Amino acid sequence: MWAAWAMIAASLVGLAINLYFASLFYRVPAWFSGALGGAARACGIDGGACKRVVHTPYARLFGGKPNVVAGLPWSVLSIVCAAVFLRTGTFPLWWPCLLIALASVVVGVYLTYVLFVVLKEPCPL
């Protein structure tokens, strides 16, 4: 039970980060951008290196599409699967979710390497 709550919490953080970066790639309503910007400023990630990173090729690893195109649905799927588990006691799609989670970790490690070693950007994410 605790693992499902941890998955929801981690996925909500991932969703918030993906929404912030999506707002840097796409036009979003001003109120939404303002809310995300306020949250980003509170966390210390708004502006600077984090905004510069979205203009690099590393921000588009999935066929030229921004990474958030994969990150947003993955975050939502994770939340839904964990909520279904909490409600029913079964974990739908556990095998595909495990593979996607492992791939996410690999991509995350790679992007962290790129951020600090290749780009030399001190983005706090």
pLDDT at 14 over 70: yes
Mean of pLDDT values over 65-76: 89
Tens of pLDDT, residues 39-60: 666 666 666 666 777 788 888 8
Mean of pLDDT values over 17-32: 82
The residue among 54, 67, 60 whose CA lies nearest residue 121 is: 54
Give 87's pLDDT tier (boundaries 50, 70, 90): very high
Compute CA distances 114 → 17, 118, 120, whole Å: 18, 5, 8
